[in-house]
Amino acid sequence: MQRIPVGLVGITGYTGMELARILLNHPRFELVRATSRTEAGRPLVDFYPFLQGTPLAELTLTPPDAKDLAQACQVVFLAIPHGAAMDYAAELLAAGLKVVDLSADFRIKDAGVYAAWYGLEHRHPGLIGEAVYGLPERYAAQIAKARLIANPGCYPTSVILGLWPALEAGIIDAHDIVADSKSGTSGAGRKAAVGTLFAEVSDSFRAYNLGKHRHTPEIEQELSALAGADLTISFNPHLLPINRGILSTLYARLTSAMTQGDVQALYEKHYARHPWVRVLPAGRLPETRWVRGTMFCDLGVVVDPRTNRLIVCSAIDNVCRGASGQAVACANLMSGLPLDDGLKLAPLMP
C-alpha cells in the first residue's frame, strides 16, 4: 500500500514533536519533509533526540520552500505561531497543497473579531471563508472536502465537546455559562520564558487571562452555532503543574427539570457514534491521565439538584487531541483515509 507523503513546517514546539510521535506509527502517512529556516541540513534527531533509531531520525531538515513542499507532499501541517501561519498557508495552498494549520489564524470566521482578539489584521481574509474548523465529530464531511483546515484550539475542543449536547438540546441557559479550564504547561509552548520554568510552575497553581483568553471568541463562535443564537461565555484558564492535559469544568443552569439519568442519556446518545468522546458512567469523573497521549475526550456529567445546575467535566490531552492528533485526524479525512488511522492510541497509565 503506497504511503501518502506529508510535511511539517515548524519543528521547535511540542506540536511538532507530537506530530512526529504520531506519524511514526501511522499506517498510511509518511513524513517526508520537516522544515526549519535556520537549521536546514541537519537531521531531525538533533532536535528530537527521542527519535533516535526510528525511521524519522535521519530525516534531513529543509528550508520551508513552497515549491519543494508541493512537489514532495500532499498535505502539510503548519506547526508555527499564529500570524506567521497565515502567510505560509496562503503560499502552500497556491502551490496546490492541502494545509492543516495548527495555529489560530483561520479559526475565527469574522476577520474583525480576529483582529480585535489577536491584535493583528488578517492578511488573507479571502481564505477564512473556505477554511474548515477541524473538529471531526462536528465537521467531518466538510473536512473531507477542504483544502485548508483551521485546527481547533485545545481549550475550545474541550469546551465545545463538553457543551454540545446540552446546548443543542436546549436544556441549559445559553447565556449563563462559566468555563473554568485548567491546562498542562505544554499548552504554553516550548519558548524560553521565566513564567513557565519548572521552578515557577511546579508545586504551584494560578489562573491567568481571566475573561480575556484568545480562545474565547473561538469558543463563542462554535457554541453560538450550536445554540442557534449569539452567546457570550465566561472562559477562564488556569495553569496546571502537569505536562499534558486539559480539564474544563463547565457550569450551566438547567432550564428545565432534568435528572442525572436524563442528561446522562442525552449525552450518551449524542456521542454514541463518536467513539473518541467517552461519556463516563454516572458517578465517574474524568482524570486527565485517562486521556494522556490519546484522541479521547472524556466527559463526566453531573446534575446538581441543589443548585439546578449542569456541571460537565471535559478532559482531553491538549497536545494530542487538542492539537497534533486532531490535525492528523483532519488530514486522514482530507486524504480519504479512515478517521482514526494512526490514532488508535491507548492512554499511558500512570
Q: For Cα atoms 33, 99, 53, give the angle at the middle one, nearest 5 degrees.
A: 30
Phi and psi at 238, nearest 5°, equal -135, 155
Query: Considering CB under 8 A, how many residues would be counted as binding its own copies?
Result: 86
Q: Which amino acid is at 299?
A: L
Of 36, 62, 158, 186, the one binding its own copies by CB under 8 A = 186
Should residue 242 be labelled a site residue for its own copies when binding is judged by CB under 8 A?
Answer: yes
Instruction: Write the interaction track for its own copies spanning residues 89-118; mark x where CB under 8 A is met and - where it is not.
Output: ------------------------------
Grid coordinates 524560553 are at which residue? 192
Should residue 338 be labelled a site residue for its own copies when binding is judged by CB under 8 A?
Answer: no
Minimum CB distance to its own copies, residue 135 (Å): 18
Q: Catalytic site residue 297?
A: no
Should residue 36 be labelled a site residue for its own copies when binding is judged by CB under 8 A?
Answer: no
Should residue 1 be labelled a site residue for its own copies when binding is judged by CB under 8 A?
Answer: no
Should residue 206 be labelled a site residue for its own copies when binding is judged by CB under 8 A?
Answer: yes
83: left (phi over 0), alpha (psi -120 to 50) or beta: left
Should residue 229 be labelled a site residue for its own copies when binding is judged by CB under 8 A?
Answer: no
Q: Containing H/E element for 34?
A: strand 29-35
181 and 6 Cβ atoms separated by less than 8 Å? no
Should residue 268 be labelled a site residue for its own copies when binding is judged by CB under 8 A?
Answer: no
Should residue 158 be labelled a site residue for its own copies when binding is judged by CB under 8 A?
Answer: no
Of 1, 2, 38, 349, the one binding its own copies by CB under 8 A = 349
Grid coordinates 524519522 are at which residue? 56
Look at the chain and count its residues. Answer: 350
Cβ proximity to its own copies, 286 vs 322, nearer residue: 286
Cβ proximity to its own copies, 89 vs 258, nearer residue: 258
Instruction: Write the interaction track for its own copies spanning residues 276-315; mark x where CB under 8 A is met and - where it is not.
Output: --x-x---xxxxxxxxxx--x-x-x-x-x-xx-x-x-x-x
Grid coordinates 495552498 are at which residue? 93
Should residue 74 be labelled a site residue for its own copies when binding is judged by CB under 8 A?
Answer: no
Q: Where are the alpha helices (DSSP H) in 45-96?
A: 66-72, 85-94
CA distance 253 to 177: 7
Q: Give the chain's largest Cα–Cα span.
A: 64
| DSSP classification of residue 164 | H
Minimum CB distance to its own copies, residue 128 (Å): 23
Should residue 77 be labelled a site residue for its own copies when binding is judged by CB under 8 A?
Answer: no
CA distance 127 to 85: 12
Catalytically annotated residue among 154, 297, 313, 330: 154
Just list the catalytic residues. 154
